Amino acid sequence: MKNPPPSIIETKDHYLILDGLRGVASLIVVLFHICEAYSPDHPLTQPINHGYLAVDFFFLLSGFVIAYAYDDRWKKLSVSDFFKRRLIRLQPMVVMGMTIGAALFYFQAGPAFPLIGHTPIWEVLLVMVVGYTLLPLPMSMDIRGWGEMHPLDGPAWSLFFEYIANILYAIGLRKLSNRWLLFLASFAAAFLVQLAVFGKQGDVIGGWSINAEQLHIGFARLLFPFIAGILLMRLGQRIRVKRAFAISSLLLIIALSLPRFGGSEHLWVNGLYESACVIIIFPIIVAIGAGATLIEGPSKRAAKFLGGLSYPLYITHYPLIYIYTNWIMSSKPSFAQSVGAGAMVLVGSLTIAYICLKLYDEPVRSWLSRRFLTFTA
């Protein structure tokens, strides 16, 4: 039998620390977006300045985990079965993120988002349905004014690129030798450095719009970390240290929170830092997380909780950020008021994510797996 049914393909254990690190990165993303509301167009002054690099870290983790989960299964696994598994893992929360974005859309109206007040309900519903598919919207269908490919749920742009990475893996990358992957990773690293160090911004911010400039940024951010993640898993490079979860989490928090380097006069310095993060520091962090042979006690519970919450938190928090950003821009609150509201956004984001995880994502994925895979994806 060339492609046995999915039911005979065994599941594998998770790298629990890597799951936990994904949760840590998601928390940093939420905090970054809360702080970003004060200077959305001025990355030089944003607190938690490099929080956006969490996306590049996610791409690295994705490459590693997908290669670990599927590299040795292709004699029993068809391409269509692979896509089925990835859709079951990712798509339910895409639908939920778009639904929440549509439900809260008109609560975000104000000076920060001038198009909302003129957008009819039918157009919001159309954008929501297209968003369910993750197909990117052209600039002409922008209903917010920020030019996002998914204006109801901005972070979904990275899921669009995640799906591209999955397609590239299934149709080609999985078949390549380590030597070819190393060659591609080197080329992709140069592509990334060209953007970050020699580009006009001095950073890798962007990727969320459908135009030539933003697609350039998106692919530059995707290709190296995803390919490097595959290669890192295959080469078996691990760093074994005690308290691996605490150490790797601390390194990740520092890397994502450091202030901007070089100022406005030396943008390339910051680009050099971001290149070093993605090319050197993030693979080291993943190697530490993957190198732990045993995790018990509070670290295990924290990693498991954060890992489960990570994806729902990432894909559902931004509609609240839209509301918070518009409130900051229109009300000009005091520091105490903004901190209090920011804390409410954080707690609200965590609460929504947990409810979605337990009452929607896990049950829906479990049902879809039983229906189409007969085991949990």
pLDDT, tens only, 238-266 = 999 999 999 999 999 999 999 999 999 99
Quote the CA–CA distance of 187 and 52 in Å, as a whole number. Answer: 23
Contacts (Cβ under 8 Å, ≥6 apart) of 16: 295, 300, 303, 304, 307
The predicted structure's pLDDT at residue 210: 95
Q: What is residue 146's three-state secondary structure?
A: coil
The answer to whether the CB of 25 falls within 8 A of the CB of 62 is no
Mean pLDDT of 314-328: 97
Looking at this protein, which amino acid is placed at residue 215?
A: L
Half-sphere exposure of 197 (CA within 13 A, CB side): 12
pLDDT, tens only, 348-365 = 999 999 999 999 999 999
Radius of gyration of the chain (CA): 20
The predicted structure's pLDDT at residue 376: 44
The pLDDT-based confidence of 374 (bands split at 50, 70, 90) is low
pLDDT, tens only, 72-96 = 999 999 999 999 999 999 999 999 9
The answer to whether the CB of 238 falls within 8 A of the CB of 21 is no
Residue 113: beta bridge partners?
110
Quote the CA–CA distance of 260 and 264 in Å, as a whole number. Answer: 10
Q: Percentage of residues in the chain with pLDDT exceeding 70?
A: 94
The predicted structure's pLDDT at residue 306: 96
Mean pLDDT of 58-78: 96
The pLDDT-based confidence of 300 (bands split at 50, 70, 90) is confident
Helix, strand, coil fractions of the chain, as percent rounded to 5:
70, 0, 30
Q: Which of residues 14 and 150 earns the better pLDDT score?
A: 150
pLDDT at residue 99 above 60? yes
Contacts (Cβ under 8 Å, ≥6 apart) of 42: none
The predicted structure's pLDDT at residue 1: 40
The pLDDT-based confidence of 8 (bands split at 50, 70, 90) is very low
Mean pLDDT of 113-127: 96
pLDDT, tens only, 198-237 = 999 999 999 999 999 999 999 999 999 999 999 999 999 8
Average pLDDT over the chain reads: 93
Q: 194: burial class by Cβ within 10 Å (0-12, 13-18, 19+)?
A: middle
Model pTM score:
0.94
The predicted structure's pLDDT at residue 14: 74
Quote the CA–CA distance of 18 and 303 in Å, as a whole number. Answer: 8
